[in-house]
A and B are shown apart, each in its own frame.
Chain A
Amino acid sequence: MSTRKPSYTNPKPCKHLSAYKLKHGLSGYKSLQKCLKTTPNGRTSVKNPGTEIPRCSSCNGYQGRLYICLICSSISCSSHALLHTQSEIGHYLAVDIERAELYCCACSDQVYDPDFDKTVMSKHMVDLPYSTNSADSIGERLCERKRLGSGVELVDLKKAEKSALTRDQRAKSCYPLGLRGLNNLGNTCFMNSVLQALLHAPPLRNYFLSDRHNPKTCRKRTANRLCLPCELHGIFSAVYLGDRTPYSPAQFLYSWWQHSENLASYEQQDAHEFFISVLDGIHEKESKARNQIRDTGDCQCIAHRVFSGLLRSDVTCMTCGFTSTTYDPCLDISLNLDTSHCSWSDASNKPVKPNDNSSSSTLLGCLDLFTKPEKLGSDQKLYCQNCEELRDSSKQMSIRKLPLVLCLHIKRFEHSLVRKMMRKIDSYLHFPFSLDMTPYLSSSIVRNRFGNRIFAFEGDESDISTEFEIFAVVTHAGTLESGHYVTYLRIKNQWYKCDNAWINEVDEGIVRASQCYMMFYVHKMLYYKSHEDLSRLPISTRIEAFHRVAGCC
């Protein structure tokens, strides 16, 4: 991976190609364009209208590779191609009939010319079958062709306008749709990183792309007031439109500043804080607009429908054993990092238990820690209903209801009461790509505590899927005061690094080695379903790295 160059330039044309182009320009390509045909499978080949089956002019064979001369249109098979250049001086360049690829007979090698590819592509577009099925394979095919030129423009503008949609698909066919860099507007990587994660959360994406929040009607309702969902809608449209040039979410930033005035500055902010405040902004607007707070207490706004889960906390009195249970909604779950092996011990009000003195912590370890019964300190006596007194108690958290998208936030920024200072924990945390939350559900936790005997648990969770797949990781590098946020997105099992305006493909090893700060998991079903939706977009796992165009994206 590391040996690959980040961007691919066109290979140098051979001297025959240069000479040909100097002499004939693009006229040969243009006349060939008429003979190009796209098969139902989305492959382009040369069909000579004259003869039915192309045959080599020397041996009359029709099998193997056949090349059509760009100058005299005579056809030679691969073994007679060289002969043709010898008998006809200057007839070096030919086109592979089957594949519509440029070939230099003198060099006996494939040659690359962006202009030629442009010609083929523009013809291709006109022929493009419109059924989704074949569009897929066309995408793959085009992908291969795309490795040659970075910015393939279409020659035939009239036709191009007609089907701008298909053009978008093809022109940047290498990365999945929706991958677009976000410009840094002045220390806004905290925003960009979270936005990238939000943009690729399948339920959110479906909501905004299906126009469920319509800015037009929204504006009518609330004359001219800034609206975060409207801005988010704008970003979604801009990103999924297909344009790959980095986008500046300036309007969104401004709206967010209006919403959270205390954070409005060009200073670095905490990504998690931003995440919460954005969801807040969406909730505020949406719930007001829809008046949809039901009797159940569940807010029907998109932010809560997607991210909100329910935490159960059981507080047990250490004296009489009475347990009181409370449920709290949550937008994310903040997890303590296991800091037992760190230099100074934590004395804050959030006790951290040593986690089997393992040197490297895991996300599962953090979740275990989160759901472990925890003795509250003597300074935190709670009122027990049974004893009617303040008592020592123990508390255990569990997850009553899992959200659609599970956001796990690692508390890397630690506040120490003793030292009266903050510090950042840089330690590595291992996290799985597939996560089963079953052990952390209230049903499992309560069952473990009470045993099956007196297990009485209201509500049945068995039918709810507990398997999650990761789709985004927000990482933080640097110190408490200044650092940089980068998001890794996982689309179709391929990881992409979103660093402000730049998007690159990365190995999963790099993601595993990163310092994760926020992790976004989505229901396994939704993760794979979202790929089915995207499957008509031209991305294939089979396409190897050298087929891609890096750089511009």
Chain B
Amino acid sequence: MRKSVNRPPTPDVMENQGKEPTLQELINIELIDSGEKERLMELLRERLIECGWKDEMKALCRAFIKKKGRNNVTVDDLVHVITPKGRASIPDSIKAELLQRIRAFLVSTAL
């Protein structure tokens, strides 16, 4: 017996859809449509594994779980705790490589 009437109105979305998409959004759409985003993500995954970043994060997660106790940790907790450290410890070379790839993609699509 769900009451769909309870659902809040969502006028905001309707409004926004009429708006001109920002450049960032345009790029995002283009990246997704061409499949380039998927390729970039795969590349990034590979690089992060290669450089040991993934193992490092895994170790951090384990340490955190150990500290908090196995049953007292949620995925969200982990995401919140680990994300800042993770972002900070990505090697610059990888960032540079991805930036390079994105630039090349933008040039090729002449956006």
Chain A residues with a Cβ under 8 A of chain B: 39-41, 52-53, 55, 57, 60, 62, 65, 71-72, 74, 78, 87-90, 103, 107-110, 542, 544
Residues of A within 8 A of B4 (CB): 72
**Nearest chain B CB to A103 CB, angstrom units:** 8
Considering the chains assembled together, what is the distance between the CA atoms of A39 and B37 in angstroms? Answer: 11
Q: Tell me, rounded to whole Å, the shortest Cβ–Cβ distance linking A274 to chain B.
A: 43
Candidates A40, A60, A103; contact of B38 at CB < 8 Å: A40
In the complex, are the beta carbons of B49 and A542 less than 8 A apart? yes
Choose one: A62, A90, A544; the contact of B2 (CB below 8 Å). A90
Given contacts A52-B29, A109-B76, contact A60 B12 (CB under 8 A): yes
Q: How far is the CB of A64 from chain B (nearest CB, A)?
A: 9
Chain B residues near A57: list those with CB within 8 A: 10, 13
Q: A41 near B42 (CB under 8 angstroms)?
A: yes
Q: How distant is the Cα of A21 from the Cα of B74 in the complex, in angstroms?
A: 21
Known contacts A53-B29, A108-B74; is-contact A88 B35 (Cβ 8 Å): no
Complex A-B: 8 CB contacts under 8 Å: A39-B38, A40-B35, A52-B29, A55-B13, A57-B10, A87-B6, A103-B75, A108-B75
Q: Which residues of B contact A71 (CB under 8 A)?
A: 2
The reply to whether the CB of B92 lies closer than 8 angstroms to some CB of chain A is no
Verify A60–B32 contact, CB threshold 8 A: no
| Other 6 A-B pairs with CB < 8 A, given A87-B7, A109-B75 | A40-B38, A62-B28, A72-B4, A74-B10, A108-B77, A110-B74
Bound state CA distance, A57 and B16, in angstroms?
Answer: 11
Closest to B4 in A: A72
Give chain B residues whose Cβ lies under 8 Å from the Cβ of A90. 2
Interface footprint category on B: 20 to 34
Q: Is A41 in contact with B10, judged by CB distance below 8 angstroms?
A: no
B8, B16, B49: the one contacting A60 at CB < 8 Å is B16
- Any chain A CB within 8 A of the CB of B79? yes
Contacts of B7 in A (CB 8 A): 72, 74, 87-88
Distance of A41 from chain B, by nearest CB (Å) = 5
- B28–A107 touching, CB < 8 Å: no
Asked if B20 is at the interface (CB within 8 A of a chain A CB), the reply is no
Cα–Cα, bound, A544→B2 (Å): 43
Q: Which residue of B lies closest to A91 (CB)?
A: B2
Contact with A along B53-69 (1 / 0, CB 8 A): 01000100000000000
Known: A41-B42, A60-B13, A109-B75. A87 touches B8 (CB 8 A): yes
Chain B, Cβ-Cβ closest to A101: B75
Specify the main secondary structure of chain B where it touches its partner: helix
Digitize B87-100: 1 where CB-to-A-CB distance is under 8 Å, 0 elsewhere.
00000000000000
Interface set of B (CB-CB < 8 Å, partner A) = 2, 4, 6-8, 10, 12-13, 16, 25, 28-29, 32, 35, 38-39, 41-42, 49, 54, 58, 74-77, 79
Q: Please name all residues of chain B whose beta carbon is closer than 8 Å to the beta carbon of A110 when the two chains form the complex.
A: 74-75
> Considering only CB atoms, which chain A residue lies closest to B83 in the complex?
A64
Question: Distance in Å from the Cβ of B32 to the closest Cβ of chain A?
Answer: 7
Are B74 and A62 interface neighbours, CB within 8 A?
no
Residues in A with CB closer than 8 Å to B49 are 542
Q: How far is the CA of A60 from the CA of B14 in the complex (A)?
A: 10
Q: CA separation between A53 and B7, bound complex, in Å? A: 22
**B28 lies within 8 A of A109 (CB):** no
Expressed in whole angstroms, the minimum distance between the Cβ of B9 and any Cβ of chain A is 11
Residues of A within 8 A of B79 (CB): 65, 78
Point out the residues of chain B lying under 8 angstroms from A88, CB to CB: 6-7
A525–B39 Cα distance when bound, in Å, is 33
A141 CB to nearest B CB, Å: 11
Q: How long is the Cα–Cα vector from A542 to B2 in the complex, in angstroms? A: 45
> A53 to B28, Cβ gap below 8 A?
yes
Max count, chain B CB within 10 A of own CB: residue among A41, A87, A89: A41
* B42 proximity list for chain A (CB < 8 A): 41
A41 to chain B: which residues have CB within 8 Å?
Answer: 38-39, 41-42
A72 surroundings in chain B (CB, below 8 A):
4, 7
Q: Which chain B residue lies CB-closest to A544?
A: B58
Closest 6 CB pairs of A and B: A109-B74, A108-B76, A110-B75, A41-B42, A39-B38, A109-B75
A87 to B77, CA, bound (A): 23
Bound Cα distance from A74 to B77, whole angstroms = 24
CA distance A201 to B49 in the complex (A): 31
In-complex Cβ contact of B76 among A39, A55, A74, A78 (8 A): A78
The chain A residue with its CB closest to the CB of B75 is A110
B8: which A residues are within 8 A, CB to CB? 87
Chain B residues, CB < 8 A from A65? 79
With a cutoff of 8 Å between Cβ atoms, the chain B residues found around residue A62 in the complex are 25, 28
For B10, the chain A residues whose CB sits under 8 A away are 57, 74
Q: Which of B2, B32, B74, B76 interacts with A53 by CB under 8 Å? A: B32
In the bound complex, how far is the Cα of B75 from the Cα of A65, in angstroms? 12
State how many angstroms separate the Cβ of A459 from the closest Cβ of chain B. 45
How far does the alpha carbon of A107 sit from the alpha carbon of B32 in the complex, in Å?
A: 31
Distance A430 CA – B94 CA, assembled complex (angstroms): 43
List, in ascending order, chain A residues with CB within 8 A of B74's CB: 107-110
**B77 contacts across to A, CB distance below 8 A:** 108
A39, B32: Cα distance in complex, Å: 11
A139 to B34, CA, bound (A): 25
- Cα–Cα, bound, A103→B75 (Å): 9
Residues of B contacting A108 in the complex (Cβ-Cβ under 8 angstroms): 74-77
Q: Find chain A residues with CB under 8 A from B25 CB.
A: 53, 62
